Structure 1
Amino acid sequence: MKDLKIEKIELFKVPPRWLFLKITTKCGIIGWGEPVVEGKADTVAACIKELEQYIIGKDASAIEDIWQILYRGGFYRGGPILMSAISGIDQALWDIKGKHLNVPVHQLLGGAVRNKMKMYCWIGGDNPDVILEQAQEKVNAGYKAVKMNATGGMEWVSSLKDIKTVSNNIKLLREEFGYNLDIGLDFHGRVHKPMVKKLISELEPYEPMFIEEPVLSENNDALKHIYSYTNIPIATGERMFSRWDFKDILHQGVVDIIQPDLSHAGGISEVRRIAAMAEAYDITLAPHCPLGPISLASALQVDFVSSNAIIQESSLGIHYNQGCDLLDYMENPEVFNLEDGYIKLLEKPGLGVDINEEKLREGNKIGHNWSNPIWRTKDGNFSEW
C-alpha cells in the first residue's frame, strides 16, 4: 500500500495572475491545485501557509476530513481568502487520489453522465469596435457560445446613450451570426438596481443566453424583483463561496444558472455539493472559470458528473492572460481541444492535466502583481469594475 502521507506543499505565483499549488506525498505522488483570488494571490498564499499545520503529515486520501478541518477548524469560516485556499488544496487532494487509484476524478465522484461538455469563451464588450472581430475568432476556433461584458463603467443611473450602447453591442452580434451563436452577457455587478430593469428591456429583443451578475452578490435580495421582470435566464455565483452562500437564492428560486468558481467556492468537494443542491431546485450549473488549466480541469470534472451542468467557461485568450495563456504551463494541452464547441471527457488519472514544472518554476521567478483596475465616473465617484 502506497504511503499517501502529505510531506510538502509548494506554491508558485506565475504570470499572468495565477497561483498554483503542489502537494507531494511520501510515496511520490503529487497533486496540483489552483488557489487564488485574483488580485490577492499573496494573501491566499499566506492563508495556505497558516493551514499547513492541519495538512502536513495527514493522509492525502482523507479528502472530506481534511476539508472539514480546514473549513471548521479555525472558528471563523467562509469568505474568498479561506475558501480559495481550501479550493486549491482540495483540487490537489482529488488529483492525488485519482492518480493513486489510476482513474480520473469524475470516476471517483460517481461516474460521468456525459461524454463531452459544451464550452464558451470570453470576448470584448466594453468596446464595440472589437466585438465582431473577437467573436469571429472564437467561431473560427470552434466555439458555439461566447460571453461578453454587457457594459463598461456605469453610473448608478446612466444616460440613455449608455443604455443604447449596451443593447447595440449584442445587436451587432445577432445581425452577424443570427442564432448560430449563443451569447451570454456579464453585467459584472457594474449595474445598480435602479438601472437593471431598463437595461433588460433593451436587451430582451436580442435574446441573450443569460444575464450574469445583474447586481452585486451582496444585493442578491434584489434578484426577486429582477427575476419576475424578465424571461432571460439569470446567472450568478462567482462571488459566492460555499453552499451556505448559495442556500438562500436557491430556496427563493430567483436564479436559473449558478456559477460557483472551482478556485473560490471550496474546490471539487464543495462545488459538487452546491451542484447537487441546485439540482434539487431544478437550477442549472455553469462554473465560473477565468483562471488557469487546473481550475478548468477541476470544473470539468464536476461538470462531467452533474446532470444539471449546461456549459463551461474557458479563459483561453481572455484579455487578462497577458504573457501567458491557459495552455502554456501544460504538457498535454490537447486535452482541452475543442470539437464542434465541446471538450471531450477527460480520461487521464486525477484531474487530467500534466503540468510542466520547469516552465512553472521559470514563471515563479517572474511572478506577478496583478490587480483589477479602479474605475471612476465622470464626476470622480467610484465605479464598479
Structure 2
Amino acid sequence: MKISAITPYPVWVGTRNQLIVKVETDEGVHGWGESGLSGREKAVVGAMEHYREFLIGRDPMAIGALWQEMYRSQYFEGGRVLTAAISAIDIALHDIKGKALGVPVYQLLGGKQRDHIPTFATTRGPCGPEIIEQARDLMAAGWNAIRLLPADHDSSGVYEPRRSIGETARWCAKAREELGDAVVLGIDYHHRLSVAEAASYCQKMPSGTLDFLEEPIRDETPAAYEALRRLTDIPFAIGEEFASKWQFLPYVERDIHQFNRIDVCNVGGLTEAMKVAGWSEAHYVDMMPHNPLGPICTAATIHFAAAVPNFAWLETRASPGERHLGFDDGEIFTTQPRLAGAVYEVGDAPGLGIEVDEALIRKQSFKFWEPPHLRRADGSITNW
C-alpha cells in the first residue's frame, strides 16, 4: 500500500473554517485528519503541500517514521504551523491503518482502557447570574464537570483584566455556593491575565472555589507559571497551545500543572500525543484534551482518551445550549461521534469511525476569519 494523494480542504463550516485533510492510497483505503491552527489555515495548507511532495508513494503504515521525517525534513523544524500540518496527516494515517487492519484506532494505541469518555461542558455566557442556572441545567443533563467563562470584553473590543477579575471571582464563589461540592468547577481565562492579575483573581475567592484554572497567562515562559504556582493552590489546566512534547517538557518535569489541555490536532497528532500522555502519567498529570474543533478532532481525541490511563475529561462543545460549528452538521460529517448524555461511547468501527461527504465539502469555500483583536482602555493590544 502506498500514499497516492493528500488533499487539504480548508472550508467554511458554520461560523468559521475547518481544515481537514484526506489522505488516499493506491489500494482505495483513505483516511481523514484535521488541523487545529484556527485562523491561519492557509499557512498550514502550504506546509501540507510541501510534505505532500515526498509523502506520495510512501508506506502509510509507517506512521512513526513518517512523523520523524516530516518533523526533521527542514532545517527550521517545529513550530505551530508545521506541527498542525503534521497533526492532520498523522491522524489521517492512523485512520488508514485502522481501516486497513479492520480495527478502531484505539487498538493501534494500546487498546481500550475505558468504555466511555466523560466530558466537561461549558456555560454559554460570561460570568453573571445566568451561569448558575445554565450550570444547573448541565448538571441535570448529567454533567459533573463544568467550565465557566470569565467576565468578557465589551462590545467595542476593549478588555480590562482588572474589571474582569473582581466580577468573575464573585460569580465563581456564588456558583460554588449554589451548586455545592459535588460538581467540578473550572474557568478558562484564555491567557488574558498577567501573573499579578491572575494571582489577584485567585486570592479573591475562598479556597476550594475552583477545581481548575485554565490558561490564566501566556505559556511562553514556564518560570512565569512557576511564580503564579507559588501564589495560588488552584490546579492549573494548560497546554492547548503546545505544539510538541518539548513544549510540555518544563511544565511536566517541574510539576507546574495538573491537567494537560493537549490538542491532538496541534501537538503533532496521535503519535506525539501518546508520548506526552506516557510522560505525564509518570508525573501524575492528567490528560484533559482541548477539543473545540470539528468531528474529526473529536473522534481522534476519543480514541486517544480511550487508550490512556491518566485521563480526566474531554472538552465538548456539543452540550445543550452551546452553538458550535460542525458538531451537529450531519450533512457534511455523515458519521461522527454523538454525545450519550454527558459522555462519548467508545465505538468499535475500523479507523476513526468518521464518514465525510466529500462532494459536499468540495462545494464549500474558504473564508478569511479573524478572532477579536482586543485592546485595553489605553489603546494597547492585549490577548484574545
TM-score (ref. length: structure 1): 0.90
In 2, the alpha carbon distance for the partners of 1:230 and 1:244 equals 26
Q: How many residues align?
A: 376
SS in structure 2 at match of 1:184? strand
The residue number in structure 2 matching 1:276 is: 278
The residue number in structure 2 matching 1:167 is: 169
Are residue 347 (structure 1) and residue 348 (structure 2) matched? yes
Per the TM alignment, residue 109 of structure 1 is displaced from its structure 2 partner at its CA by 1.1
SS in structure 2 at match of 1:17? strand
The residue number in structure 1 matching 2:92 is: 92
In 1, the alpha carbon distance for the partners of 2:159 and 2:229 equals 20
The residue number in structure 2 matching 1:81 is: 81
Tell me: CA distance 1:141–1:356, structure 2 relative to 1, closer, same or farther (3 Å).
farther
Letter paired with 1:7: S
The residue number in structure 1 matching 2:372 is: 373
Per the TM alignment, residue 357 of structure 1 is displaced from its structure 2 partner at its CA by 2.5
1:1-385 matches, within 5 Å, as 4-14=1-11, 15=13, 16-126=16-126, 128=128, 130-132=130-132, 134-139=134-139, 141-153=141-153, 158-159=161-162, 162-205=164-207, 207-316=209-318, 321=324, 324-328=326-330, 329-333=332-336, 335-339=337-341, 341-362=342-363, 364-365=364-365, 367-385=366-384
Tell me: CA distance 1:175–1:17, structure 2 relative to 1, closer, same or farther (3 Å).
farther
Q: Is the 8 A contact 1:157 1:194 kept in 2?
A: no
In 1, the alpha carbon distance for the partners of 2:122 and 2:327 equals 13
In 2, the alpha carbon distance for the partners of 1:114 and 1:370 equals 38
In 2, the alpha carbon distance for the partners of 1:374 and 1:130 equals 26
Q: Is the 8 A contact 1:153 1:384 kept in 2?
A: no
Runs of 4+ aligned residues of structure 1 deviating over 4 Å after TM superposition are: 153-158, 317-320
Q: Deviations over 1:41-60 (max 9, x none)?
A: 11111111111112111111
Tell me: CA distance 1:356–1:133, structure 2 relative to 1, closer, same or farther (3 Å).
farther
In 1, the alpha carbon distance for the partners of 2:54 and 2:228 equals 43
SS in structure 2 at match of 1:222? helix
In 1, the alpha carbon distance for the partners of 2:198 and 2:313 equals 25
Letter paired with 2:355: D
In 2, the alpha carbon distance for the partners of 1:124 and 1:206 equals 23
SS in structure 2 at match of 1:376? coil
In 2, the alpha carbon distance for the partners of 1:19 and 1:235 equals 26
Q: Is the 8 A contact 2:146 2:183 kept in 1?
A: yes
Per the TM alignment, residue 99 of structure 1 is displaced from its structure 2 partner at its CA by 0.4
SS in structure 2 at match of 1:218? coil
In 1, the alpha carbon distance for the partners of 2:127 and 2:159 equals 20
Between 171-180 and 30-39, report the one with greater CA deviation. 171-180
Q: Deviations over 1:26-72 (max 9, x none)?
A: 11111000014111011111111111112111111110111000001
Per the TM alignment, residue 130 of structure 1 is displaced from its structure 2 partner at its CA by 4.5
SS in structure 1 at match of 2:311? coil
Percent identical pairs in the alignment equals 29
SS in structure 2 at match of 1:250? helix
Q: Is the 8 A contact 2:318 2:339 kept in 1?
A: no
Unmatched segments (≥5 aa) in structure 1: none
Q: Is the 8 A contact 2:60 2:93 kept in 1?
A: yes
Letter paired with 1:99: K
Q: Is the 8 A contact 1:84 1:265 kept in 2?
A: yes
SS in structure 1 at match of 2:231? coil
TM-score (ref. length: structure 2): 0.91
Per the TM alignment, residue 326 of structure 1 is displaced from its structure 2 partner at its CA by 4.7
SS in structure 1 at match of 2:100? helix
Q: Is the 8 A contact 1:9 1:22 kept in 2?
A: yes
Q: Is the 8 A contact 2:262 2:273 kept in 1?
A: yes
In 1, the alpha carbon distance for the partners of 2:350 and 2:196 equals 49
Q: Deviations over 1:280-337 (max 9, x none)?
A: 1111111111101111111111111111111111232697735x4454432234x422
Letter paired with 2:373: I
Tell me: CA distance 1:326–1:250, structure 2 relative to 1, closer, same or farther (3 Å).
farther
In 2, the alpha carbon distance for the partners of 1:352 and 1:158 equals 43
Per the TM alignment, residue 127 of structure 1 is displaced from its structure 2 partner at its CA by 5.2
Between 262-271 and 45-54, report the one with greater CA deviation. 45-54
SS in structure 2 at match of 1:295? helix
Per the TM alignment, residue 156 of structure 1 is displaced from its structure 2 partner at its CA by 10
Per the TM alignment, residue 102 of structure 1 is displaced from its structure 2 partner at its CA by 0.6
Q: Is the 8 A contact 1:150 1:166 kept in 2?
A: yes
Letter paired with 1:380: G
Per the TM alignment, residue 168 of structure 1 is displaced from its structure 2 partner at its CA by 2.5
Unmatched segments (≥5 aa) in structure 2: none
Tell me: CA distance 1:241–1:380, structure 2 relative to 1, closer, same or farther (3 Å).
same
CA RMSD across the alignment: 2.3
Tell me: CA distance 1:203–1:336, structure 2 relative to 1, closer, same or farther (3 Å).
farther
Q: Is the 8 A contact 1:36 1:44 kept in 2?
A: no
